[in-house]
A and B are shown apart, each in its own frame.
Chain A
Amino acid sequence: MSLVNLAHVCSHLQNASKARLGVTSIPVSKLHVNLMLGLQREGFLSSVVLGGPTPPKPYLLQSQPSPESLDKMAGKLRDQPWLAYPAPEETDSDSDSSTLASDISRRRVALSRSPLGAEEAHHETPVPENPARRRLWLGLKYWNNEPVLRNMKLVSKPTRRIWLTSEDLGKITRTRESSYVKGLTRPGECMFVTTDRGILEARECVERRIGGMALCRVW
């Protein structure tokens, strides 16, 4: 778990928002994916999509179902509403279930076997089989001609990790300094902490009374 790559991601996101990019990509790693999902949960990003070297098709450019097929689906759901829920997964333990690619391929198979048929498979994006060619595509957000994510800085450094207890985090979220980490004094500032329950926002950590290693602060 190198923080060097995370530092690169931080700078890249700052640069991308300064350049007013709509979509940008970062290398894929579990840390990055979880952190980006955390950012999306906090509303800094509009979308997090796994893709290849080319950006994924925007939703509006993807193939849309025809109105007739939508009508057919609606009729089917009216008669059998339980079809809206996915079918129970069949256990196929022979394939290596730990990798991300296998997970995605399994999900694709499950979708094709869904009781509603191929209608809802339109949001699929091609993911290269080669992991080195995969990228994580992020949708950046802008509001009132201003980027929503403007600054992103590392708290722990590659040479100096900082672990914070929930008490420290409580002080920091109340704008006080603790464990040599400055308080969250800027309006709308967030800090992400990696814990044994995943990557969480500092305030959420305080709520759940868990500590962890501080990753980065975003505002």
Chain B
Amino acid sequence: MSVCRSARCLFSKATTGLPKSAPAPATRSFQTTAPRPARRRRPHYPSIKAEELQLLNKAAEATYPKYDTTETTLLEKRYTPDQIAAIKAAETAIDTRDILTQGQRRSDPWLLPYKDDLAEMDPVTDHAEKLSHKDIQGSKTFRYTNPVERDEAITQVAMEQLAKLYPDGVPEELSAEAQADLEDMVGTAMTQAAFDPRAIYTSKNPKAMATMADPRHSIVQPDLPRIENRMMRQTTRLANEEKEDPREKQLLQYMRWTKKQLRGLTIKTLVVHGVVNQTRMGKIRSMYFLTIAGNGNGLLGVGEGKSVEPADGRKQSVMSAIRNMKAIPRYENRTIYGDLEKKVAATRVLLYSRPPGFGLRCQHLIFEMARAAGLQDLAARTPRSRNKMNVIKATWEALVNQKLPDEIARGRGKKLVDVRKVYYGGSVH
């Protein structure tokens, strides 16, 4: 059976356009094995019997009854006709039986503080109500105030502000402090009033004048209210505590560093594995972390941490890596001084200095360490064991304990002169 023939069959069916009444050919089976019977499909929702449906209807009507006339009149007193229409639409749209079977009460901390009272705007959850120029009735013409009108407007606005601050009127007898406060407030109210639009523009239409004091016409969003609940205070306190980790603070004091310097470090956790302590009570599992820290400019540290809590262990290792940072001598700020060799346990690490532009051609652990320390040209070999922890430790010790040519010359009592400092006017590293 060729592919072409099956394709011709397909096309002929599409092009000839036989009437639908023609008997459809039996679907050709492409294999000889018996087709697998289809799995019995289960409905996505439990099927409800007629009797149970009756019961459900009754329960729904009992728990969520329809509004009667007295209730609608009460609603009309509280809500606008638009809102009542919206409420009715919602009532008809939502099936009470669905609420009964599927509805859940929210219990999360961020649930809305109201259930059904939509009369008030919530400044946090709701959009601020906005009015446009179309909402101003009457003429919208205005002009600049003359000085007399301006002074009048300023005094009026200032008086309004003060009336808000002293709702019961200014008391007769004031202490010296209260008097100073009052004078201060009068001053600020006058300044604010001078910038109020009512002091600058005037209009014959009193409704247009009222819009100038209306915050709904302002393009500036109203400020969010100060939230004074316990939850908020607790969360903010927790955030502060997280910022001021006591271990980090101690480390900063120890190093005499600022947080900014700490953020500039390259920190990488290279080894993570679980360890088990067998006690008579049973096995205690904890996590081990080995982290390197470097500033990319000749400082490198290796730190270990172990804890039952993974986050704690990681933090321990990071802190100890930063604390253990030591200076690594670099030749021309790019490679090491000569070849190095270090053996830790069964691991032998050989590090080779290389010419400029060679790059870091070494295994990933040594690569990460060289990058963190700011070495650019390096080759390495680990001919024996490649235990990750020992490779890192051996590399770090080899890099830190380099013998410098100056030191060697001092030890041998020889005079050593770096001629590069003479030939290129000392412009090399």
Partners in one complex: yes
Asked if residues B411 and A187 are in contact (CB atoms below 8 Å), the reply is no
Determine whether B412 belongs to the interface, using a CB cutoff of 8 Å to chain A: yes
Asked if residues A185 and B338 are in contact (CB atoms below 8 Å), the reply is yes
Interface of chain A: mostly helix, strand, loop or mixed: loop
Tell me the bound Cα distance from A142 to B411 in angstroms.
Answer: 7
Closest to A144 in B: B407
Asked if residues B411 and A186 are in contact (CB atoms below 8 Å), the reply is no
Closest to B405 in A: A187
Nearest-neighbour CB distance to chain B for A98, whole angstroms, equals 34
CB neighbours (8 Å) of B413 from chain A are: 43
CB neighbours (8 Å) of B352 from chain A are: 185
Q: A43-B413, A144-B411, A148-B412 are in contact. Are A188 and B403 (CB under 8 A)?
A: yes
CB neighbours (8 Å) of B285 from chain A are: none
Determine whether B91 belongs to the interface, using a CB cutoff of 8 Å to chain A: no
Tell me the bound Cα distance from A187 to B411 in angstroms.
Answer: 13
Within 8 A of A (CB), among B400-419: 402-405, 407-414
Within 8 A of B (CB), among A185-204: 185-189
Interface size class of B (residues with CB under 8 A): 10 to 19
Determine whether B337 belongs to the interface, using a CB cutoff of 8 Å to chain A: yes
Nearest-neighbour CB distance to chain B for A16, whole angstroms, equals 16
CB neighbours (8 Å) of A185 from chain B are: 338-339, 352-353
Determine whether A103 belongs to the interface, using a CB cutoff of 8 Å to chain B: no
Q: A187-B403, A187-B404, A188-B403 are in contact. Are A43 and B411 (CB under 8 A)?
A: yes
Interface 0/1 of B348-390, CB less than 8 Å to A: 0000110000000000000000000000000000000000000
Contact of B410 among A42, A143, A187 (CB under 8 A): A143
Tell me the bound Cα distance from A187 to B407 in angstroms.
Answer: 10
Within 8 A of A (CB), among B19-73: none
Interface size class of A (residues with CB under 8 A): 10 to 19
Asked if residues B412 and A186 are in contact (CB atoms below 8 Å), the reply is no
Closest to A182 in B: B339
Asked if residues B339 and A188 are in contact (CB atoms below 8 Å), the reply is no
Interface 0/1 of A98-115, CB less than 8 Å to B: 000000000000000000
Interface core residue of A185, A186, A187 (most chain B CB under 10 Å): A187
Asked if residues A143 and B414 are in contact (CB atoms below 8 Å), the reply is no
Tell me the bound Cα distance from A44 to B412 in angstroms.
Answer: 6
Asked if residues A187 and B338 are in contact (CB atoms below 8 Å), the reply is yes
Contact of A143 among B338, B353, B407 (CB under 8 A): B407
Nearest-neighbour CB distance to chain A for B414, whole angstroms, equals 5
CB neighbours (8 Å) of A186 from chain B are: 338-339
Determine whether A135 belongs to the interface, using a CB cutoff of 8 Å to chain B: no
Within 8 A of B (CB), among A136-175: 141-144, 146, 148
Asked if residues B412 and A187 are in contact (CB atoms below 8 Å), the reply is no
Asked if residues A42 and B338 are in contact (CB atoms below 8 Å), the reply is no
CB neighbours (8 Å) of A146 from chain B are: 403, 411
Tell me the bound Cα distance from A187 to B404 in angstroms.
Answer: 7
Closest to B340 in A: A186
Tell me the bound Cα distance from A142 to B414 in angstroms.
Answer: 14
CB neighbours (8 Å) of A43 from chain B are: 411-414
Tell me the bound Cα distance from A187 to B417 in angstroms.
Answer: 15
Nearest-neighbour CB distance to chain A for B383, whole angstroms, equals 15
Nearest-neighbour CB distance to chain A for B74, whole angstroms, equals 95
Interface residues of B (CB under 8 A from A): 337-339, 352-353, 402-405, 407-414
Interface residues of A (CB under 8 A from B): 42-44, 141-144, 146, 148, 185-189
- 10 more contacts with CB within 8 A, not counting A42-B412, A186-B339, A188-B412, are A42-B414, A43-B412, A185-B338, A185-B339, A185-B352, A186-B338, A187-B338, A187-B402, A187-B405, A188-B409
Ordered by A's residue number, 23 sampled pairs between the chains whose C-beta atoms are within 8 Å are: A42-B414, A43-B412, A43-B413, A141-B411, A141-B412, A143-B411, A144-B411, A146-B403, A146-B411, A185-B352, A185-B353, A186-B338, A187-B337, A187-B338, A187-B402, A187-B403, A187-B404, A187-B405, A188-B338, A188-B403, A188-B405, A188-B409, A188-B412
Q: Which 9 A-B pairs have the closest CB atoms?
A: A43-B412, A143-B411, A187-B338, A188-B408, A185-B339, A148-B411, A43-B413, A186-B338, A187-B337
